[in-house]
């Protein structure tokens, strides 16, 4: 039984799902806007918003937490998050991203765009 398991599984085992969400988060931070399925966008949104909240504090511990959550050895992504993206949201308390529905694609999936609110 799935008691207290509210996250989507996205038809993947845990390791693959974690890698997928990390990749989506890195792509969103790098590009500022990505197109994906609605389920993936809704699943990655709270994870990215939590990372931005850590980045707004701008501490060493916050950098380490963000690096471990992203699993990203590339320091450019973390630097961009802390120096470019987080300062834009200093006065905003949450709601850093938006998900825009694009409609159903021929493959039967609902497409969506997730982007930063600036």
Each residue of 23-57: pLDDT tens digit? 999 999 999 999 999 999 999 999 999 999 999 99
pLDDT on residue 115: 98
CATH number of 14-116: 3.90.1030.10
Contacts of 19 (CB under 8 A, 6+ apart): 71
Q: How does pLDDT run across 84-94, given as a tens digit for each residue?
A: 999 999 999 99
Whole-structure pTM value: 0.92
Cα distances (Å, whole numbers) of residue 29 to 53, 101, 104, 110: 13, 20, 25, 22
DSSP state of 107: T
pLDDT on residue 18: 96
**In whole numbers, what is the pLDDT of the chain averaged over residues?**
95
Q: What does the pLDDT average to over 12-26?
A: 96
Sorting pLDDT into bands at 50, 70 and 90, what band is 64? very high
Q: Which of 7, 13, 36 is nearest to 23 (CA)?
A: 36
Cα-Cα-Cα-Cα torsion 81, 82, 88, 89, nearest 10 degrees, comes to 90
112 phi/psi in degrees, rounded to 5? -150, 155
């Amino acid at each position: 039984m799935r008691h207290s398991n509210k996250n989507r599984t996205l038809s993947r085992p845990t390791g693959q799902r974690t890698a997928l969400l990390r990749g989506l988060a890195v792509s969103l931070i790098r590009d500022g806007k990505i197109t994906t399925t609605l389920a993936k966008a809704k699943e990655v949104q709270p994870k990215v918003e939590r990372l931005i909240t850590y980045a707004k504090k701008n501490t060493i511990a916050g950098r380490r937490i963000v690096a471990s959550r992203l699993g990203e050895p590339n320091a450019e992504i973390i630097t961009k998050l802390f120096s470019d993206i987080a300062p834009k949201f200093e006065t905003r308390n949450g709601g850093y991203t938006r998900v825009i529905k694009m409609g159903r694609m021929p493959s039967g999936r609902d497409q969506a765009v997730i982007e930063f609110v600036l």
